[in-house]
Amino acid sequence: MGSAQTMSMRVVVDSREQAPYDFAGASCYAGTTVEQGSLSTGDYAPKGLEHLCAVERKSLPDFVACLGRERDRFVRELERGRGLECFAVVVEGDFASLAHHDYRGQLDAHSACQSVASFVARLKVPVLFAGSRAGGQYAVWSILRQYLRGKLHELKAVEASIRAPAPQACPAGAPEARAGACARGVDKHKAGEPRDVLDAFGGPAEAFPGMVPEGGAAC
């Protein structure tokens, strides 16, 4: 990964997507590469995490169709998206155009707006009106990027939590509770302090020659 401005990102675009984004033409897209693939949900996803994150892109006419004659199919798509950690719909238009019936078709504007509200309130699927194609590209890129940044923070937290500190010796003269465990017991060790090999495996000292120092218990 590069800096926050040039973080590398590999994006999979569904092969059925017409006129796909190329994430080019702006400096913020530096480090972003695109490859075609088959996505079961959405149109764009981070490479290798397609089962966790995806974004559905719609032009305004396509979106209006999804609110009308293609609603059942679209709702099934949204239901699948709910099973992902991150899923959103990006519309290349603005909400005002929908509310003012600035589109072709007989679909009532009030019904269209209420459908969008139901997707958000009932299905818990965010719908972003990006205003234009350029805005849609930026919105899709931003969602995927922020998801990956969150995963990167999670990975760093996991790495920090499993980084083993140096083992600590038992107090001088501490009696041996059992082979491989000092008298303090596992629950008395400092938080995050690893057990030694004998304690972890629970085996007798003689099964692990050289692991227990002479005259004392391992901790």
Domain end point (choices 144, 161, 178): 161
**Are residues 144 and 110 part of one domain?**
yes
Helix (H) or strand (E) holding 145: helix 133-162
For residue 67, what are the domain limits? 9-161
Residue 175, phi then psi, degrees to nearest 5: -70, 150
Mutual angle of helices 60-67 and 109-121, in 10-degree steps: 80
Residue 73 counted as domain residue: yes
Question: Which residue from 208, 194, 201 is spatially nearest to 161, judged by alpha carbons?
Answer: 194
Bridge partners of 36, per DSSP, are 13
pLDDT band for position 179 (50/70/90)? very low
Q: What is the dihedral of CA 70, 56, 13, 141, to 10 degrees?
A: 160
How many distinct structural domains can be found in the chain? 2
- Report pLDDT for 214: 47
Q: How many CB atoms lie within 10 A of CB 199?
A: 20
Mean pLDDT of the chain: 82
**Are residues 116 and 51 part of one domain?**
yes
pLDDT band for position 174 (50/70/90)? low
Q: Are 174 and 183 in contact (CB under 8 A)?
A: yes
Residue 21 counted as domain residue: yes
Instruction: Over range 124-139, report the average pLDDT.
Output: 98
Residue 219 has pLDDT above 50, yes or no: no
**Are residues 41 and 142 part of one domain?**
yes
Instruction: Over range 45-59, report the average pLDDT.
Output: 97
Q: Are 174 and 217 in contact (CB under 8 A)?
A: yes
Instruction: Over range 53-71, report the average pLDDT.
Output: 96
CA 8 to CA 32: how far, in whole Å?
6
**Are residues 184 and 153 part of one domain?**
no
From residue 66, give the alpha-carbon distance in Å to each of 38, 52, 116. Answer: 21, 23, 10
Instruction: Over range 9-35, report the average pLDDT.
Output: 95
* 167 compared with 47, residue with greater pLDDT: 47
* 171 compared with 190, residue with greater pLDDT: 171
Q: Are 64 and 107 in contact (CB under 8 A)?
A: yes
Please return the burial class of 86, using the count of CB atoms within 10 Å of its CB with bins 0-12, 13-18 and 19+: buried
**Are residues 28 and 73 part of one domain?**
yes
| CATH number of 121's domain | 3.40.50.10130
